[in-house]
């Protein structure tokens, strides 16, 4: 039996009066939910033969629209990972035939990364699997509940980012 967040907060109030526990009933379910969602996403990706980093890279390229090409700098900005991480992701995806790399046409020292036909097919198939599963999981909330939750999560994320 899993201890509820309210039970955890109450135990801290009892054992350490004065300890700030107002976050427990927000953080505990968010952390637990994040773990469940992460584990579920890992299973879906494994079944699709992908990892998170590769799907992230391919998805960013796919969402960029034709010609599905971005510089490594743009990829780093859009995925919120370091240039080094992007370089590793691109190299791995290039070895798998999912992307190509070439000097950027702008004449700068930038490297352009383009989605290949094989990469396009992988992302199309994988996005359907991932987002289809995500839709199944949020079906436990009504449209009205999601309309309330989405801005609250955004507000909390922005607040936490500003304090990080």
The pLDDT score that the predictor gives to residue 107 is 65
Give per-residue pLDDT as tens, 72-109.
Answer: 999 999 998 898 999 999 999 999 999 999 987 776 77
Do residues 74 and 2 both lie within one domain?
A: no
Same domain, 79 and 139: yes
Number of independent structural domains in the chain: 2
Same structural domain, 59 and 140: yes
For the whole model, what pTM was predicted? 0.81
- Average pLDDT score over the chain: 93
Same domain as 154, residue 84? yes
- Residues 125 and 48: beta-carbon distance below 8 Å: yes
In this prediction, residues 53-68 reach a mean pLDDT of 96
Burial of 64 (C-beta count, 10 Å sphere; 0-12/13-18/19+):
middle
- Print the domain residue range for 39: 1-48
What are the pLDDT digits (tens) for 132-164?
Answer: 999 999 999 999 999 999 999 999 999 999 998
Helix (H) or strand (E) holding 55: helix 52-63
Rounded to an integer, the average pLDDT of 40-60 is: 94
């Amino acid at each position: 039996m899993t201890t509820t967040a309210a039970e955890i907060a109450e135990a801290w109030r009892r054992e350490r009066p004065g300890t700030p526990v107002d976050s427990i009933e927000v953080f505990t379910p968010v952390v637990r939910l994040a773990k469940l969602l992460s584990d579920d996403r890992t299973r879906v990706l494994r079944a699709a033969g992908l990892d998170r980093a590769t799907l992230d890279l391919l998805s960013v390229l796919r969402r960029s629209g034709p010609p599905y090409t971005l510089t490594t700098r743009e990829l780093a900005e859009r995925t919120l990972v370091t240039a080094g991480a992007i370089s590793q992701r691109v190299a791995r995806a290039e070895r798998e035939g999912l992307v190509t790399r070439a000097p950027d046409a702008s004449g700068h020292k930038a490297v352009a990364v383009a989605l290949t036909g094989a990469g396009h097919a992988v992302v199309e198939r994988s996005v359907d699997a991932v987002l289809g599963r995500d839709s199944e999981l949020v079906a436990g909330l009504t449209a009205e509940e999601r309309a309330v939750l989405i801005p609250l999560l955004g507000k909390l994320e922005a607040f936490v980012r500003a304090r990080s």
